[in-house]
Amino acid sequence: MNIAVISQMFPCKRHPISAVFFANLMRELAPKVNELIIITPRPYIPRSFAKINKGWQKWFLDPEVTKENGMEIIRPHVLLLPGVRFEGINGILIQLSLISLLHKLIRKRRIDVILGYNMLPEGIASVRLANMFKLPAVFWAIGDDVNIFANHNEINRYLSKKCIEKSSIVLTESKDLEDKIIALGANRGRVETFYKGIDVSQFKSLPSKDVMIRNLKLNPARRHLLFVGRLTREKGIYELIHAFTSISKRYPDMDLLLIGEEMEKVQVMDILRHHGITKRVILKGIIPYNEIPKYMKASDFMALPTWAEGLPNVVMEAMASSLPVVATDVGGIPEVLKHRVTGLSVPPKNIEKLKDALIEMIEDKQLRETCVRNAKELIEDKFDVRKNVDQLYKMLEQIRN
């Protein structure tokens, strides 16, 4: 079986952790198929313009074609329009830009199935190309594509509905997204939730917590509340900051550890300075993906007060690393975080409920140990990428046939 994947998100020099969990799944899939071709479009920018704007130079860091982990990765330049309102149109632009490339690959019998990662623009492009060349089409709905992009305007909504209608099957990150895809008009029999999973093995081989704390140069006398994600309003960063401000007085030995793109760092720092707790907050910014499990091992608790999600991998990783988790009950999170069974869940945008849940998790040792044990068992049983890849292979083989 030969598979072509279309995804703008895939690890590269420009963004080493882009869609890293999807990339892990593809790496596991590669040895099971004849060929796995990853087509990851990048915006067309004339090279001369990169000399004017240093930010544009990042799009030229990676060569157009590479071989990595048994996969051929092709990075064609594609005309794209900026902004959420154009995501549907960008699907058509990607389709038109890739016709020649797909024609060459199909002529050499190198494609049996086309898979798009993200409903729009990649899913739209994948389904339209597959229909054009009379191939099975699969796309993956992952979160913002359904929750935000599809309903942003009538064009996005129309193209999303056509994409769903013409796809052989739609894969979703969570049951919540599955319901939303069905609400957009999908036949229930052609939508299936598929958990990509995480590489559970990486959490089993880590040194002890004391060693991690020492290696990461954290203070062994302090406890750490961890947050991993973009520092944005939608990720609940302000609720977390205000909740931590309140509990910091109760637990003078606890610091807040923030990992992720510091998009609203200025606003966050203003709040911290106002409350006089800048020294109690550690900002690490973006770090290499393989460093994140180390910080989880070194931390004591994790909070993710996000407003909307598909199924955040960071929650599953925290559970795999035996880290007690407090998170909001949005999107697919309740599919892994069962309240008082595998963690504590709270409603989004609620500082008081978040604060109370953090205090309960910190102070109730028996609850904490129960949640950690149950969560670890759940992740190892149902969310191990090495187990789940066999299910994906069988599904794609069935679609091809």
DSSP 359-391: HHHHH-HHHHHHHHHHHHHHHHHH-BHHHHHHH
Could you tell me if 373 and 388 lie in one domain?
no
Could you tell me if 189 and 205 lie in one domain?
no
> For the chain, what is the mean pLDDT?
93
Report pLDDT digits (tens) over 90-108.
999 999 999 999 999 998 8
Could you tell me if 375 and 320 lie in one domain?
yes
Could you tell me if 375 and 391 lie in one domain?
no
Q: Provide the whole-model pTM.
A: 0.84
Per the structure, the complete domain to which residue 58 belongs is given by 2-197+384-400
Could you tell me if 180 and 206 lie in one domain?
no
Could you tell me if 336 and 304 lie in one domain?
yes
How much of the chain, in percent, has pLDDT values that exceed 70? Answer: 100
Could you tell me if 191 and 211 lie in one domain?
no
Question: For each of the chain's 401 residues, which pLDDT tens digit applies?
Answer: 999 999 999 999 888 888 888 999 999 999 999 999 999 999 988 877 767 777 778 888 899 999 999 999 999 999 999 999 999 999 999 999 999 999 999 988 779 999 999 999 999 999 999 999 999 999 999 988 998 899 999 999 999 999 999 999 999 988 989 999 999 999 889 999 999 889 888 888 889 999 999 999 999 999 999 999 999 999 999 999 999 999 999 999 999 999 998 889 999 999 999 989 999 999 999 888 889 999 999 999 999 999 988 788 899 999 999 999 999 999 889 999 999 999 999 999 999 999 999 999 999 999 999 999 999 999 999 999 988 999 999 999 999 88
Could you tell me if 150 and 240 lie in one domain?
no
110: CATH: 3.40.50.2000
Could you tell me if 274 and 308 lie in one domain?
yes
- Please say whether the beta carbons of 369 and 343 come within 8 A: no
Could you tell me if 188 and 264 lie in one domain?
no
Could you tell me if 240 and 355 lie in one domain?
yes
Per the listing, tokens 């292979």 go with: 393
61 token code pair:
């860091």
Strands 35-39 and 2-6, bridge-based pairing: parallel
The secondary element (H helix, E strand) that includes residue 65 is strand 65-68
Could you tell me if 108 and 227 lie in one domain?
no
Q: What is the number of domains present in the chain?
A: 2
214 token code pair:
């020492």
